[in-house]
Amino acid sequence: MKMLLSYPRSGNHLFRFFIEILTETPTLGYIQNVKDIPIFQNTFPENIPFNITKLTDYDKNNLYRKFHNTNNETPTELIFIVRNPREVLLRHLNYKLIKDVWCGYNTYFNNIDFFNNFTGKKKIFYYEDILEKKEEFIKQLYDFLELKNESKLNYVLQNIDKLYENSKKGKNRAWGGVNSKSIDYYYKNIKDKKKEEFDNYIQSKIQTGKYNDIKVKYNL
């Protein structure tokens, strides 16, 4: 099983969109949500050249599946998408501080621990770079997946802005949609009485020394 791991609201659907286009194979949705179907089965306003036949034509063990927590799985390959905790935690939990349920704040850091401890083939992608460094993201994904389809790569690069826009417009799928208008939208809108508590929680994690990469990346 190949794992595509991310905390909710971290661009998982967008990522799956490009995996399916580049590999011309499906991706699998969150296992506990039957409505979270492969992206190629969505309805888009114009034709998207996924070139995928039907899901039953593919070995599910060789496909990437979406996860929001590790669920005690042991993947053969791991792609991990990370978004700024100041944005994604506030976005997903509507500015609340919830640390003791599966989708609470601790899951975000548990996923980072899982990635750091995983010894197989793996790569981390940052949500903000996916949005702001589009061509670099596509090339890195193509290389990590060890693909040999340069015509498809060139098609994606030549149509990249249109594909990004179309990725937002898929219908009949289970996802939260595009809500924020920038990569720094939620933290600046947090209420003052919550901000100190939230900041203290983030710093309690950063001060463990286990999350230096995101500390540097997001200036935490």
Nearest residue to 170 via CA among 26, 24, 54, 14: 14
Write down the mean pLDDT value for the chain.
Answer: 91
pLDDT band at 181 (very low <50, low <70, confident <90, very high): low
pLDDT of residue 122: 98
Which range scores top for mean pLDDT: 98-112, 143-157, 159-173?
Answer: 143-157
pLDDT of residue 182: 72
pLDDT > 70? residue 80: yes
pLDDT band at 175 (very low <50, low <70, confident <90, very high): low
pLDDT > 90? residue 193: no
pLDDT per residue over 24-42, tens digit each?
A: 999 999 888 888 999 999 9
- Distance between alpha carbon 34 and the CA centroid of its chain, in Å? 19
Mean pLDDT for the stretch of residues 112-139? 97
pLDDT band at 103 (very low <50, low <70, confident <90, very high): low
pLDDT band at 88 (very low <50, low <70, confident <90, very high): very high
pLDDT band at 129 (very low <50, low <70, confident <90, very high): very high
What is residue 190's DSSP assignment? Answer: S
Cα torsion 212, 214, 219, 220: sign: negative
Going from the C-alpha of 164 to that of each of 8, 41, 52, the distances in angstroms are 19, 17, 19
For 129, half-sphere exposure in the C-beta direction (CA atoms, 13 angstrom radius) is: 14
pLDDT of residue 116: 97
pLDDT > 60? residue 179: no
pLDDT > 90? residue 178: no
Q: What is the pTM of this model?
A: 0.93
pLDDT > 70? residue 3: yes
Are 80 and 15 in contact by the 8 Å Cβ rule? The answer is: no
pLDDT band at 72 (very low <50, low <70, confident <90, very high): confident
Query: Which residue segments constitute the domains of the chain, with CATH numbers given?
Result: 2-217 (3.40.50.300)
pLDDT of residue 59: 95
